[in-house]
Structure 1
Amino acid sequence: MSPLLIIALVLVTLFIAFQIYVFVKSKKSVGNPIPFDTINNEIANKIKDKKSLIYFYSPSCHNCKKQTPIIEKLKSEFQSIISVDISKDLETARAFNIMGTPSILLLGTKTIEGVFVGVKNESFIREKLHELT
């Protein structure tokens, strides 16, 4: 086997392993309390005592550019959606253990109820929003 092929296989394996790690780590957040004491006060006030969806994105993220228009469309129907640009509010992203973008968190009034990493279609997000109400 050529050294180039071995390097390519190692890189693919590492990429897949990282994706699995992000998935598993994000699922471990479900059920955790909302970290009100370590998040941006403006966001804390918006989500306090409300079920909410927080969308974490980065302007330089290719997949976020696909996800953001869907989120913006849904914001006109659902007041419970909050967008967080991690390049401007890394503190909040870290408080919620965001490992990659785009990420969507479903929040109950006190706990994290769902975590989804990657692009999700409108019907999936809409379904999750209806589950919150």
Structure 2
Amino acid sequence: MHRWSITDIQGDTVASIQTNSFEMSIDLNHVLPSKVWIEVRMLALLLMVQAASSDIVITGKRLSEEHAICDQGRCTPLRDAEVSIAYAEAQFREGKYLDARNSLAAAVNRNRNHAKIAPKPVAALYEAYATVALHEGDQEIY
């Protein structure tokens, strides 16, 4: 629940606005000119929209599900690079360094033939793979 007060020049409360989800109530302490009344209603509407938008809903596939699709070779090189790098990053953050390295190695193997048509995603895969391998002490891959 949100509550706002509107005061006049003397500091007296002219109106208070209370919002609760999509309900709104306005209590007027003074008789207001029509121009001010319109402004109060506009302010109340804006505040209500702001208060109602405090919930954020995110929908989408889990990264592991998307990675499984790419692992089957059903993604474009760009999408495969995006998903595989994000998936390996999550594994790396969890301390699963070898899993991250293996995920990137598999993505490189899936996409190495696409270097001519999608050079930037393939290069990003190689760079991520080399970075993880270097972290593991393997300087041959880098």
TM-score (norm 2): 0.23
Which has the greater radius of gyration? 2
TM-score (norm 1): 0.24
Structure in which a larger fraction of residues adopt helix: 2
